[in-house]
A = this chain, B = another copy of it.
Amino acid sequence: MSEQKTLIFGHKNPDTDTIASALVYAELKTRTGENAEAVRLGDVAQETQFALDHFGVEAPRRIDSASEETGSVILVDHNEFQQSVDDIENVTIREVIDHHRIANFQTEGPLLYRAEPVGCTATILLKLYKEQGEKPSKEMAGLMISAIISDTLLFKSPTCTKEDVQAAEELAVTAEVDLNEYGLEMLKAGADMSSKSTEE
Beta-carbon contact of B112 and A102 below 8 Å: no
A195 CB–B CB distance under 8 Å: no
Q: Count the copies.
A: 2
| Contact, CB under 8 Å: A104 / B106 | yes
CA distance A103 to B107 in the complex (A): 6
- B100 & A110 in contact (Cβ 8 Å cutoff): yes
- Docked complex Cα distance between A100 and B110 (Å): 5
A184 within 8 A of B: no
Q: How far is the CA of A100 from the CA of B108 in the complex (A)?
A: 9
Question: Using Cβ atoms and an 8 Å threshold, which residues of chain B touch A109?
Answer: 101, 117
| CB of A40 within 8 Å of the partner chain | no
Question: Which of B101, B111, B116 is in CB contact (< 8 Å) with A108?
Answer: B101
The digit string for A95-132, where 1 denotes a CB below 8 A from any CB of B, is 00001111111111111111111000000000000010
Interface string of A67-111 (1 = CB under 8 A from B): 000000000000000000000000000000001111111111111
**B107 close to A106 (CB less than 8 A):** no
Give every chain B residue within 8 A of A117 (Cβ-Cβ).
109-112
Q: B residues within 8 A CB of A101?
A: 106-111
24 sample A-B contacts, Cβ–Cβ < 8 Å, listed by A number: A99-B110, A101-B106, A101-B108, A101-B110, A102-B102, A102-B105, A102-B106, A102-B107, A102-B113, A103-B106, A104-B106, A105-B106, A109-B117, A110-B116, A110-B117, A110-B159, A111-B115, A111-B117, A112-B117, A113-B113, A113-B114, A113-B115, A114-B114, A131-B131
